[in-house]
Amino acid sequence: MNPLRVLVIWPPQILSYFNAGHHNLLYSVAGHLRRLDEVGHVDTLDASVESLTWKEVGDRLHQGGYDVVAVANDLDGVDGLTRLLSYARHLAPTAGLVTFGRLSGMRPELFTHFDLDAIVGPGDYEPAVSAYVRAVHAGRVAAGTVPGVWLRVDGQWNEPGRPGAVLSDEDWVMPDVREIPYHAYDWLYRDDQNKFCGIPGRRELVVPAARGCPVGCEYCEVPAVFGRPDRRASVERVVRYIEESFAALPFEYVAFYAPTFTLNRAWTVRLCEELVERGARYPWKCATTVHHLDEELVALMGRSGCVRISVGVETLAESGHPALPRLKRKGTTAVEALAAWCERAGIELNCFVIVGLPGTAVDDAEAAIAEVRALGGRVRPTMYSPHELLRPGMSADAISLHNRQILPEGVFPDAAERRRAYDIIFGRERRTTHVDESVPQRREAGSTAGSRS
């Protein structure tokens, strides 16, 4: 059989939230597929960030001659899934349709009522999608034969016979920056009122530095999808990717994509030392926990070019601590100390706060936000969304309500409290970021380098 043609696509949708790191899965999976002898051509298409029309998506499906269409999903990225699958059935009728992503990795059974042929469950996306593509190429898509993948055979869904694989740190593929639509990313990050994670007016290089996390936050999908052990790309590989990417395109800062960036202190120190050796010429940011930081480490991070540290404060109320892992049960004193370290190091402190965390009231979220602001920090709030409420058979609309912006049923039943909760998520932000002032601009205004679509 001839090598296959594959499309890796994020469906058209209005995004609830944008984090470029979450969209990297398209390009990591595509890069992995390109290594296969069974694959002759791979296209990528992020129809959500590029605001494509259904006509444009239909053009690609009709003209592409695809044998497999691999559809990314996210925690609420199902809005356009039904329509995309319908278009694919009509315009690429012989293609196998497989979905992969954070939501199916956590709850694969949610997708069994969609018109799919395969669903990637827990484990790294790349080996599971690749195994499915190999099975399509061989003509052997049989129940239980593809690790980590639910298969629909003769109209019936079958769980995988073996769990999904996890890759070694050297085996995951760093995204090809030449095919990522950075012009669209720049636009999505343009306004800090959106409370997204990017830096307005500056172009971000996402570096996938680590997978897996042992911290164990019950509201986080990382342990369920990627496992609890921390896996890291080598410092040498990370630095090489940064240097090569900055040489290829006009990036202005680095976003390290890792569940808990400073979990491995020795690795972090070594990376910082390597960046210092190079003149700290790559401004960067990361996300971690208060627990995995100390004054000496924060100072070194600042010297190496760190401009923002994001931490999951979640709540400062003791009543909410039972809903958090022990190491995240921090009070005001710990956050005050971290804020002082960051100020001395010239780093912006960005704090995640959860509205509706079990055991807390709106007052508690408002108090945590006020405390962070008083300390000079930036706040990125999110709504608590219990994953256990996600059930098989839910419509795309019902699934999309679990987007960490809409209150779950029964939380804050009082109308006034609900309005206050929504004001935290959707109200105007009084304190926007100034971290862009610490990041030199390299691009000319209106530059669209990086788009290959």
Residue 448 pLDDT level (bands cut at 50, 70, 90):
very low
Question: Residues 92, 95, 98, 99: what is their CA dihedral angle, to the nearest 10 degrees?
Answer: -20
Bridge partner residues of 300 (DSSP): none
Residue 229 pLDDT level (bands cut at 50, 70, 90):
very high
Domain finish residue from 158, 178, 198 = 158
| 380 has pLDDT over 90 | yes
CATH code of the domain covering residue 151:
3.40.50.2300
Query: Does residue 409 belong to any structural domain of this protein?
Result: yes
Angle at 280 between CA 279 and CA 284, to 5 degrees: 160
Q: Which domain holds residue 65?
A: 4-158
| 453 has pLDDT over 70 | no
Any idea which of 13-17, 92-96, 284-288, 390-394 has the lowest mean pLDDT? 390-394
| 77 has pLDDT over 60 | yes
Q: Does 205 share its domain with 140?
A: no
In this structure, are residues 254 and 238 in contact, taking their beta carbons and an 8 Å threshold? no
Residue 158 corresponds to which amino acid? N
pLDDT value for 390: 87
Query: Does residue 453 belong to any structural domain of this protein?
Result: no
CB atoms within 10 A of CB 263: 20
In this structure, are residues 225 and 212 in contact, taking their beta carbons and an 8 Å threshold? no
Q: Does 321 share its domain with 418?
A: yes
Name the 3-class secondary structure at 125. helix
Q: Which two tokens stand for residue 266?
A: 């020795």
Read off the pLDDT of each residue in 380-404 and give the average, rounded to a whole number.
Answer: 87
Name the 3-class secondary structure at 173. coil
User: What number of CA atoms fall less than 13 Å from residue 145's CA on the CB side?
Assistant: 13
Q: Does 289 share its domain with 345?
A: yes
| 237 has pLDDT over 70 | yes
pLDDT value for 452: 33
8-state DSSP, 450: T
For residue 46, give the nearest of 149, 172, 173, 185 by alpha carbon: 185
| 29 has pLDDT over 80 | yes
State in Å, rounded, how far the first CA of the chain is from the last one: 28
Q: Does 118 share its domain with 23?
A: yes
Q: Does 123 share its domain with 56?
A: yes
Query: Does residue 450 belong to any structural domain of this protein?
Result: no
Beta strands in 317-386 (DSSP E): 348-355, 378-383
| 445 has pLDDT over 60 | no
For residue 88, give the nearest of 8, 150, 158 by alpha carbon: 8
Q: What is the pLDDT of residues 136-178, one digit of tens each?
A: 999 999 999 999 999 999 999 999 999 999 999 889 999 999 9
Max alpha carbon distance in the chain (Å)? 65
Q: Does 199 share its domain with 339?
A: yes
Name the 3-class secondary structure at 233. coil
- For the chain, how many helices (H) and strands (E)? 14, 15
Return left, alpha or beta for 266; rule: phi > 0 is left, psi -120 to 50 is alpha, else beta.
alpha
Read off the pLDDT of each residue in 183-199 and give the average, rounded to a whole number.
Answer: 93
Q: Which two tokens stand for residue 328?
A: 């995240």
Residue linked to tokens 């939380």: 411
Residue linked to tokens 């994020």: 10
pLDDT value for 362: 97
Read off the pLDDT of each residue in 264-287 and give the average, rounded to a whole number.
Answer: 98
Q: How far apart are CA 332 and CA 315, in angstroms?
A: 10
Q: Are strands 348-355 and 306-314 parallel, antiparallel or unpaired?
A: parallel
Q: What is the pLDDT of residues 32-72, one digit of tens each?
A: 999 999 999 999 999 999 999 999 999 999 999 999 999 99
Query: Does residue 221 belong to any structural domain of this protein?
Result: yes
Read off the pLDDT of each residue in 252-269 and give the average, rounded to a whole number.
Answer: 98
The percentage of the chain sitting over the pLDDT mark of 90, rounded to a whole number, equals: 86
Q: Does 199 share its domain with 138?
A: no
Q: Does 139 share its domain with 211?
A: no
Q: What is the pLDDT of residues 13-23, one digit of tens each?
A: 999 999 999 99
Query: Does residue 10 belong to any structural domain of this protein?
Result: yes
Helix 332-345 × helix 295-303 angle, to 10°? 30
Query: Does residue 447 belong to any structural domain of this protein?
Result: no
Query: Does residue 80 belong to any structural domain of this protein?
Result: yes
In this structure, are residues 383 and 421 in contact, taking their beta carbons and an 8 Å threshold? yes
pLDDT value for 112: 96
**Cα-Cα-Cα-Cα dihedral sign, residues 136, 55, 183, 65:** positive
| 434 has pLDDT over 80 | yes
Q: How far apart are CA 11 and CA 74, in angstroms?
A: 10
pLDDT value for 429: 86
8-state DSSP, 165: P
pLDDT value for 449: 44
Q: Does 149 share its domain with 216?
A: no
Q: Does 154 share its domain with 293?
A: no
Higher pLDDT, 403 or 190: 190
CATH code of the domain covering residue 213:
3.20.20.70
8-state DSSP, 234: -
pLDDT value for 174: 96
Residue 400 pLDDT level (bands cut at 50, 70, 90):
confident
- For 251-282, the DSSP string reads --EEEEE-TTTTSSHHHHHHHHHHHHHTTS-S
Q: Does 220 share its domain with 108?
A: no
Read off the pLDDT of each residue in 357-363 and give the average, rounded to a whole number.
Answer: 96
Split into its structural domains, the chain has a count of: 2
In this structure, are residues 139 and 1 in contact, taking their beta carbons and an 8 Å threshold? yes
Read off the pLDDT of each residue in 89-107 and give the average, rounded to a whole number.
Answer: 97
Query: Does residue 165 belong to any structural domain of this protein?
Result: no
Q: Does 57 share its domain with 202?
A: no
For residue 35, give the nearest of 128, 101, 126, 145 by alpha carbon: 126
pLDDT value for 391: 87
